[in-house]
């Protein structure tokens, strides 16, 4: 007979486990007996029994498994994890058509890029705002193209799904379409950007058209344009006067005609932003422009409450990271001075 551990031999009420060599000898004997029975006409299943014995001889270590109702079902292999769908200009058009809002946040390094990307943010803007929130400057005018390329490259390395948009800094596109194309090309080729953003209205339409013809997606920027801070007399809301509103509406259509894939509307009245959004086939991304835009963008440091002295009306702070980080750092400082850190579990032996 067979059990879970091989061939057993029952003799006088005792069950003995045979060694593998004994099992093979016993099986060979069975085969010889089967050949002898083959001459007997009364044997009707000789070949079947011989085949079974030979199979056991060839694989003596594989004993038949008993199937019971208590047997656990064979688990199904886990399905492979699907790669997240990359956000492209086509995705943005589809989201506008379906009414799904677009989310954009600024990012300046790989760590934040990964956090925002895994959180499901569709667009990461490497903004020239880094001049203020990273470099500590009063405005964005001092940021260079080389600095933008560096930070864009960092963000691109931390991103797998989101669209990475690189800002063209001040005076890297205003001179001519050729200059704009060269600057945009470097942001894409050296920085890894998927699209570039530039500020301005009808006057930059030729630059936009030149960049788009080269196969680089462009995002426009209207309203409160930080690179024109001196011309505007500060960071003030634009488009409240009827003549300003008309210029913005005309500029939005001109940018769309030039080939932009989206337009950022910053610091303009909400009704005007909603009107512009409805007049365009490309999506609008608002910041301080109301809920009527196709999406929203904020500076990540503002959203996380990392700038306690900067609280403009259009910013919503979702957490107080400034206080949290300060408390954690103070705890670290105190534990080091009191010799509480590091403990043995933080040391090597």
Are the CB atoms for 310 and 322 separated by under 8 Å?
no
Other Cβ atoms closer than 10 A to 28: 12
Q: Which residue has the tokens 């945009």?
A: 184
Tokens at residue 271, please? Answer: 């009704």
Residues 6+ apart with CB under 8 A from 112: 155, 158, 300
Exactly one of 94, 199, 246, 266 is catalytic; which is it?
266
Spell out the residues 6+ positions from residue 243 whose beta carbon is closer than 8 angstroms to its own: none
Task: Answer whether 265's CB lies under 8 Å from 237's CB.
Answer: no
Residues 71, 76, 77, CA angle at the centre, nearest 5°? 135
Closest listed residue to residue 310, CA positions, set 319, 323, 301: 301
Q: What end-to-end distance do the CA atoms of the chain give, in Å?
A: 57
Distances (CA, A) of 129 to 40, 46, 69, 240: 99, 89, 67, 24
Check: CB of residue 264 under 8 Å from CB of residue 227. no
- Partners of 297 in the β-ladder: 104
Run of H or E including 160: none
Q: Which spans in the chain are helix H?
A: 20-37, 46-58, 89-98, 110-118, 130-133, 145-157, 177-189, 205-213, 229-232, 242-258, 270-279, 300-303, 321-337
In the residue annotation, 266 being an active-site residue is answered as yes
Q: Residue 240's closest CA among 269, 278, 201? A: 269
Would you name the residues annotated as active-site residues?
A: 266
């Amino acid at each position: 007979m067979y059990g879970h551990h091989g061939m057993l031999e029952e003799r006088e009420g005792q069950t003995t486990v045979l060694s593998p060599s004994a099992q093979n000898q016993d099986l060979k004997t069975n085969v010889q007996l089967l050949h002898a029975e083959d001459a007997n006409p009364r044997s009707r299943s000789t070949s079947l029994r011989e085949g079974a014995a030979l199979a056991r001889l060839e694989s003596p270590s594989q004993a038949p498994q008993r199937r019971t109702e208590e047997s656990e079902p064979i688990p199904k292999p886990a399905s492979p994890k699907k790669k997240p769908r990359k956000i492209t200009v086509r995705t943005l058009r589809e989201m506008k058509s379906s009414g799904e809002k677009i989310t954009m946040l600024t990012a300046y390094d790989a760590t934040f890029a990964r956090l925002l990307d895994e959180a499901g943010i569709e667009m990461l803007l490497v903004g020239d705002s880094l001049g203020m929130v990273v470099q500590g400057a009063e405005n964005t005018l001092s940021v260079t193209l080389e600095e933008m390329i560096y930070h864009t490259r960092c963000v691109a390395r931390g991103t797998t799904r989101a669209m990475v948009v690189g800002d063209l800094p001040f005076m890297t596109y205003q001179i001519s379409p050729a200059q704009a194309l060269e600057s945009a090309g470097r942001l894409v080729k050296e920085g890894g950007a998927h699209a570039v953003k530039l500020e301005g209205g009808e006057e930059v339409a030729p630059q936009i058209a030149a960049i788009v013809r080269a196969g680089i997606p462009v995002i426009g920027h209207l309203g409160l344009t930080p690179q024109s801070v001196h011309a505007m007399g500060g960071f003030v809301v634009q488009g409240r006067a009827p003549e300003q509103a008309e210029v913005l509406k005309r500029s939005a259509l001109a940018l769309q005609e030039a080939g932009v894939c989206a337009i950022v509307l910053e610091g303009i009245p909400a009704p005007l932003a909603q009107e512009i959004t409805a007049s365009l086939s490309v999506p609008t991304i608002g910041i301080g422009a109301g809920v009527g835009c196709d999406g929203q963008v904020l500076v990540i440091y503002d959203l996380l409450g990392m700038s306690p002295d900067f609280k403009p009306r259009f910013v919503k702070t979702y957490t107080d990271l400034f206080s949290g980080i300060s408390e954690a750092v103070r705890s670290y400082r105190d534990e080091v001075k009191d010799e509480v850190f590091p403990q043995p579990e933080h040391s090597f032996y």
